[in-house]
Structure 1
Amino acid sequence: MKLTKSNYFSQEANRHYMSNSQFKSFLPSYGGCEAQAMAKINGEYEDPPNKAFEVGHYVHAWNEGTLDDFKANNPNLYASTGKTAGQPKTEFKHCNKMIEILESDPLVLKALAGRKEVIMTAELFGIPWKVMLDSYQPILGEDTGIFADLKTSKEMGGKFWNTEMGVYENFIHHYGYTIQMALYAEVERLVSGRENWLLPHMVIVTKQDPPDHEIIYFDYDVIEQSLHIVGKHIERVKAVKSGMVEPTRCDKCAYCRGTKKIKKIKHFSELSLY
């Protein structure tokens, strides 16, 4: 299947290719659920609208250079009633502050330079994968270069409880961004034919007022470790996606709550297990 920007996120593409987000959607450690993941792939479930995603899309459109088109094609960005009718909603007004912070920092603009929204596909762990690089600069010197991913975040210093590990972790680990950057690096390496990985960078801007922002990079050690994690789980994910194995329900996510059928009555003390 030939991928383009118009079909990259399509159901057909998601059936044919594995992606970073789809892989993690199968894993409970990243908030995933096998039953919900399969329902999405089969067209039986869609995530409800999420303002956080819309904010991310707004800032990404700026990076891609298509913000004017994005505004024109998304009338929901603007208030439709009251005194503010026709004006951007509060959260999207704040997006402009986030963009101003990024535009005012020369190192950010340098990190986000290059080709935009670059689609790549490669076979990895025995199946086809797809990635889309926000900004791609394969050559910044002799046999070097970077790619960068732009992220919007609530804040930079938040901490999240990892139930499986019993520890707090930062948002990079909580949302599996190390996994994402490792997969992108490996697919890019395979497509380019280079021997070594490009160093992944992440440009982060927060939704605080005023926004904070940072540039971080990921080294070869974390790429190798993260690919090992993918390799550890991929056979189970492949088996479930192919229909060879029945998906497990988490009974906690939106899909499972909406399709739940009680099979036994629980004693009140069992609630402590949740």
Structure 2
Amino acid sequence: MILLKLNKNNYFSQEANRHYMSVSQFKSFLPSYSGCEAGAMASINGEWERAHVVAFDEGHYVHAWNEGTLDEFKADNPHLFASTGKTAGQLKANFQHCNTMIETLESDPLVMKALDGEKEVIMSAELFGIEWKVMLDSYQPQTGIFADLKTMKEMDGKFWNTEIGVYENFIDHYGYNLQMAVYAEIERIVHGRDKWLLPHMVIVTKQKPPDHDIIYFDYDAIEQGLHIVGKHIERVKAVKSGAAHPARCEKCDYCRSTKKIKTIKHFSELKFY
């Protein structure tokens, strides 16, 4: 198969997702990250489309600011604006708050330093015997770092992992450690480096007022993240290639929408979490 040449117009396309593995796609196969093999394959094959989530638009809004394309993003997405009532033509309240989040970032010199450099840099390389695609939000190879910008509801608190039955911090819960590890390794492979660039995450929350922070990952964290990916990648590759049948989780949106009852449960089988 001839690989699709990636650019900003097709990076998130269904065709690109068929040709390449990405961190988000990888996690979509794993129950530990609320993934489901059957749902992941239905999405890749175009048989099922995930429901639109407003939080994604909010994240894209802040990312467009970082890329310097916010005016274009607003022009291309009229649904960001109220269409009726006294506020018609104005940004909806949640996107006005995104502007507050942006102001929080802009007012912090260290944040702006971390987000400096080339924006939205696309790279691809073979890792664990399969082609991966990554997009670096802010890329500074001359200073030895890259940064990923995240918008979140909050950073504090405990996040319950239903698969293994434990509370986690948000880094482990959302697999950001895997993301930073894969990004660092792909960048290293592409440029033939002996060492990794240090991954940074710039985080801003949707709280009022917003909280924000900068987190970095050292070499040990990169090695641990790659180890986790390596532990699961063969199963993911087998399912994506069609060599193995995808398992259903019977909990996700896809499984609920396609569910057919085969056995009746005893009440004692019900879970509390």
Change (3 A) 1:273 1:79: closer
Superposition misfits of 4+ residues, deviation over 3 angstroms: 163-166
**Structure 1 position 273, deviation (Å):** 7.1
Q: What SS is found at the alignment partner of 2:123?
A: strand
Q: What TM-score do you get using the length of structure 1 for normalisation?
A: 0.97
2:74 corresponding residue in structure 1: 71
Verify: 1:183 aligned to 2:182, yes or no. yes
- In 1: Cα distance, 2:79 partner to 2:163 partner: 39
Structure 1 residue identity aligned to 2:5: K
- In 2: Cα distance, 1:3 partner to 1:154 partner: 31
2:171 corresponding residue in structure 1: 172
**Structure 1 position 161, deviation (Å):** 1.5
1:71-150 map, 5 Å: 71-140=74-143, 145-150=144-149
- In 1: Cα distance, 2:38 partner to 2:179 partner: 22
Verify: 1:26 aligned to 2:25, yes or no. no
Verify: 1:262 aligned to 2:261, yes or no. yes
- In 1: Cα distance, 2:208 partner to 2:58 partner: 15
Verify: 1:16 aligned to 2:19, yes or no. yes
- In 2: Cα distance, 1:65 partner to 1:49 partner: 24
- In 2: Cα distance, 1:261 partner to 1:132 partner: 39
Q: What SS is found at the alignment partner of 2:204?
A: strand
Pick the aligned partner of 1:2 from 2, 5, 11.
Answer: 5
- In 2: Cα distance, 1:272 partner to 1:177 partner: 28
**Structure 1 position 163, deviation (Å):** 3.2
| Contact 2:31–2:163 (8 Å) recurs in 1 | no
How many residue pairs match? The answer is 270
Q: What SS is found at the alignment partner of 2:270?
A: helix
- In 2: Cα distance, 1:263 partner to 1:123 partner: 41
- In 2: Cα distance, 1:273 partner to 1:217 partner: 36
Structure 2 residue identity aligned to 1:218: F
- In 1: Cα distance, 2:246 partner to 2:272 partner: 22
Pick the aligned partner of 1:42 from 42, 45, 58.
Answer: 45
**Structure 1 position 272, deviation (Å):** 3.3
Structure 2 residue identity aligned to 1:226: G
**Structure 1 position 156, deviation (Å):** 1.6
Consecutive unaligned residues in structure 2, runs of 5 or more: none
- In 1: Cα distance, 2:271 partner to 2:25 partner: 31
> What is the RMSD computed on CA atoms of the aligned residues?
1.0
Verify: 1:53 aligned to 2:56, yes or no. yes
Kindly provide the CA deviation profile for residues 115-154 of structure 1, in whole angstroms up to 9, marking residues without a partner as x. 00000000000010000000000012xxxx1000000011
| Contact 2:200–2:215 (8 Å) recurs in 1 | yes
- In 1: Cα distance, 2:38 partner to 2:81 partner: 36
